[in-house]
């Protein structure tokens, strides 16, 4: 039980990339646990890339290789995240145009 809780505390981060003109599906561009996960998240925030927290999805995606496209069974959940990211980008663009 203590080992299980310890395992849960290790942070996992996965970065996805998607180019609709080149890729058939989003693909893993970075993945890591612990300190590497923290660095991935830090880099995303520094570059103003939206971060979505979903531990279960991150754990599943972390099993994929860098450059590997997500499997079809994850399309729906990842699509929901991409819609969220797109909405965040539009809000940021609107805020910048007001300044």
**Whole-number pLDDT of residue 5:** 55
- Write down the pLDDT at residue 8: 57
pLDDT, tens digit, for every residue of 84-95? Answer: 878 888 887 777
Q: Where do we find the tokens 């079809």?
A: 72
Regarding pTM above 0.85, the answer is no
Radius of gyration (C-alpha) of the chain in whole angstroms = 15
State yes or no: pLDDT of 1 exceeds 60.
no
Q: Is the distance from CB of 89 to CB of 95 less than 8 angstroms?
A: no
Domain extents in the chain:
2-98
In the CATH scheme, what architecture does the domain 2-98 have? Answer: 3-Layer(aba) Sandwich (3.40)
Q: Give the model confidence (pLDDT) of 58-91 as tens digits.
A: 999 999 999 999 999 999 999 888 888 788 888 8
Residue linked to tokens 């979505």: 52
Q: Which of 54, 51, 61 is nearest to 88 (CA)?
A: 51
At 60 the pLDDT is 95
Under 8 Å between Cβ of 98 and 50: no
If we measure between CA atoms, which residue out of 47, 55, 52, 56 comes closest to residue 16?
Answer: 52
In this structure, what token pair is assigned to residue 18? Answer: 């998607």
Q: Report the share of the chain in percent with pLDDT over 70.
A: 91
């Amino acid at each position: 039980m203590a080992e299980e809780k310890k395992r849960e505390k290790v942070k996992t981060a996965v970065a996805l990339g998607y180019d609709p003109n080149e890729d058939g599906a989003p693909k893993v561009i970075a993945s890591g646990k612990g300190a590497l996960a923290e660095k991935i998240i830090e880099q995303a925030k520094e570059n103003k890339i939206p971060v979505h927290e979903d531990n279960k999805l991150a754990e599943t995606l972390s099993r994929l290789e860098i450059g590997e496209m997500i499997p079809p069974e994850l399309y729906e959940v990842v699509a929901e995240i991409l819609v969220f990211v797109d909405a965040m980008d539009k809000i940021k663009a609107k805020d910048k145009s007001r300044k």
